[in-house]
Amino acid sequence: MQAFLKPVYAITFALTWQGAAMAEPIGRVTGIGGVFVKSKDSKALANWYRDVLGLDVADWGGAALPYNAPGHPPKISWMAFPETSDHMAPSTREFMVNFAVDDMDAIIARLRASHVAILKRDDDNAFGRFAWVQDPDGTLVELWQPK
């Protein structure tokens, strides 16, 4: 039995050491803590996100979006585009916001009821269903229902 335990101890030590050696260093970004935008009419913009997209805008003027909603993606994407990219067109803003949604059909119905133009839809993407709209400040908003 003791001869059997030596390899087990060796493997356990090796895996423990490898895990410690491969651990990510401290002093790194762990996620997105918020998205902050300037607006000529910040109250009207907050109301639009509350009324049209259903964000739970609190008295402090923003919304805390949980990560543990059923079906929510386990990670958030960050990506830099070349300055010449038209990925965010027709918006002239230097950023866009992507919101994960639980039911694309329901959010599209909500948008249409609020007379928001759907700029584009993609229901056949390998990553899920997408729709794009612009908020009142002209920021492109990408809606994504993950697969």
pLDDT reading at 95 higher than 70: yes
- Lookup: tokens for 108: 């599209």
CB-based contacts of 22, cutoff 8 Å, min separation 6: none
d(CA 122, CA 57): 28
Average the pLDDT over 86-106 and give the result: 93
Strand-strand pairing, 140-146 and 128-134? antiparallel
Instruction: Residue 73: name the closest of 18, 25, 129, 35 by CA.
Output: 129
What residue spans of 23-114 are helical by DSSP H? 42-51, 104-113
Angstrom distance (rounded) from CA 91 to CA 86: 9
List, for residues 106-135, the tens digit of each pLDDT value: 999 999 999 999 999 999 999 999 999 999
Query: Measured between alpha carbons, how far is 128 from 103 in angstroms, rounded to an integer?
Result: 11
Q: What is the pLDDT of residue 8?
A: 46
Q: Residue 127 has what DSSP assignment?
A: T
Give the pLDDT confidence of 34-75 residue by residue, as tens digits.
Answer: 899 999 999 999 999 999 999 999 999 999 988 888 888 888
Position 20 pLDDT exceeds 70: no
Report the pLDDT value the prediction gives residue 134, as an integer from 0 to 100.
97
Q: What is the mean pLDDT of residues 82-103?
A: 93
Q: Is the pLDDT of residue 91 over 80?
A: yes
Higher pLDDT, 77 or 18: 77
Better pLDDT: 14 or 52: 52
pLDDT at 4: 46
